[in-house]
Amino acid sequence: MPVRAFVFPGQGSQAVGMGKELAAAFPVARETFEEVDEALKQNLSRLIFEGPAEELTLTANAQPALMAVSLAVVRVLAREGGLRVAEGCALVAGHSLGEYSALAAADSFTVTEAARLLRLRGEAMQKAVPPGEGAMAALLGIEADEARAVCAEAASGEVVEVANDNGGGQVVISGAAAAVERAIAAAKARGVKRAIPLAVSAPFHCALMAPAAEAMAKALAATPPRPPVVPLVPNVTATPTDDPEEIRDLLIRQVTGTVRWRESVAAMKEAGVDTVVELGAGKVLAGLVKRIDPELTALSVGTPGEIEAFLKTV
């Protein structure tokens, strides 16, 4: 029997129309989208299914939207296939906002709680830095330690830090716009293959997000996580935990901290996982897992067809 980890995508995986087939095919998926709409007092599902894309991409919309699609998949697997998270996987993990999806899947938050926390998180992250003052860039063909050295060299008293260690030679940096530009130049001088400025609305996962971390500290004090039914591999430490106090602390630190995805995948393998199943929109995480460790089986489950094929293997 495969030992599975369920993983949940982050921002950038959103696309207009995601989850639409699910909602059409499965009543429990429809109910999940309706629950998120009710929690936010907004017809988010219509925005998810019909767009416009620029509105869906707004951080405050994209974060709860991606969680809604992931949790719709989780509930379809449980209702249609009898595959519940507690028995179906050994660990859960998520990329940035996906950590909230993972915790909701593992009954640490309700869907309503996760939707409201992610709406607040998205708004707080957006407000933390005025538009145009921050930037992010993907560096390809570099490992995290060298990227940290590049950031240190380019900082000149400004913030520029490793935001995501995605593995497979892909590192995302984040910080003040001018410092990110200097880091791109420094990376190219070191022979980095490509440095791509990212079209993001704020510099996530760096020290400039401190105001958003404070907002999440207050929100998570009011809505603390419960013990998850299976351990979480957190972004901040990449060490599995099911301690709700530690999880709450790590969710606060995650706002300014590095998403240690490469190390998270290594931790899953070390814990005996041989199959990583991405639940929700897109195929970004499955692709990263394959690059990080080709020995792991990685698959994406987000459409009715993918759910049907996956349930046949369970």
Q: Which residues are identified as catalytic?
A: 96, 205
Residues 227-246 as b or e (16 or more Cβ within 10 Å = b): ebbbbbbbbbbbbbbeeeeb
Type of residue numbered 96: S
Rounded Cα–Cα distance for residues 105 and 246 (Å): 18
Task: List residues bridging with 161 in a β-sheet.
Answer: 174
Ramachandran angles phi, psi of 75, nearest 5°: -70, -35
Say if residues 271 and 240 touch (Cβ distance below 8 Å): yes
Bridge-based pairing state of the strands 91-94 and 170-176: unpaired
Say if residues 202 and 57 touch (Cβ distance below 8 Å): no
Say if residues 293 and 168 touch (Cβ distance below 8 Å): no
291-294 LR contacts (CB < 8 Å, sep 24+): 291/167, 291/168, 291/169, 291/170, 292/167, 292/168, 292/261, 292/262, 292/265, 292/266, 293/265, 293/266, 293/269
First CA to last CA distance, the chain? 9
